[in-house]
Amino acid sequence: MKNNEQGEEQTIKLAEDMEKSFSYVNDFSKATNLRLYILEHSLHVEELVSTALGYILEIDWKKSKSFGYSSVSLSFNQKALIIQDLKGLDKNDIEKLSCFMAIRNKFAHVKSVNTFEDFFNSGKNGSDVKKSLIKFYPIENSIIDDDLKFKISFFRLFLDICTFLLSKVLKHEYERGRKDFSKEYFSSILTELGNIEVGEEILKRALTRTKVNLNID
């Protein structure tokens, strides 16, 4: 009995240590409620989508009837579809944005969906998203419970979407003649895009991706 109790205590301790090592998933949102956690990330992605479209279409999106905050503005879903229609998007980017939107929509509109498991069991769309998350963000660790695993996957999905949206803006600005790849320039754009706590990582990843896409050093 004693050995069993010690084994259980060690397992719990390992799980707690593992959770601490993934504490970065709360860098952007400290919400303990999963629905609120997802919606807070969604609000930021929606603003990034509007900002990216504003740069690409060369409009002040905040004053725009289509992309601003007015009652007649396009919905998040509609703006996400426009992003997906842009030329040059990687098919993985399109799939990731679709996954993010599916998660966001279910948690925003279906009261009975409180956990990722609820979402995955809500229909074919949910099960397809689960397969995509496992494909893009595999976590081979039996100690972490599924709730934390998929929260980690969702956060990585969030980072990837922020990265590709920012890189889309940077590529567009470069092709328009802004060839100054200084940290100050990217930081100023990042500030406009929200200046989130994990922004430095997104900035570095977007810069690397943009340079690869443009084939420049």
Which pTM does this prediction carry? 0.79
pLDDT band at 12 (very low <50, low <70, confident <90, very high): very low
- Does 96 have pLDDT greater than 50? yes
Q: Is the dihedral of CA 70, 72, 76, 78 positive or negative?
A: negative
Task: Specify the higher pLDDT residue, 93 or 193.
Answer: 93
User: Tens digit of pLDDT for each residue in 16-69?
Assistant: 555 566 777 877 788 889 999 999 999 989 988 888 888 888 888 888 888 888
**In the chain, what are the domain boundaries?**
2-214
User: Tens digit of pLDDT for each residue in 80-92?
Assistant: 998 888 877 889 9
User: Tens digit of pLDDT for each residue in 140-198?
Assistant: 766 788 888 999 999 999 989 988 888 887 777 777 766 555 555 555 555 554 455 56
- Does 8 have pLDDT greater than 60? no
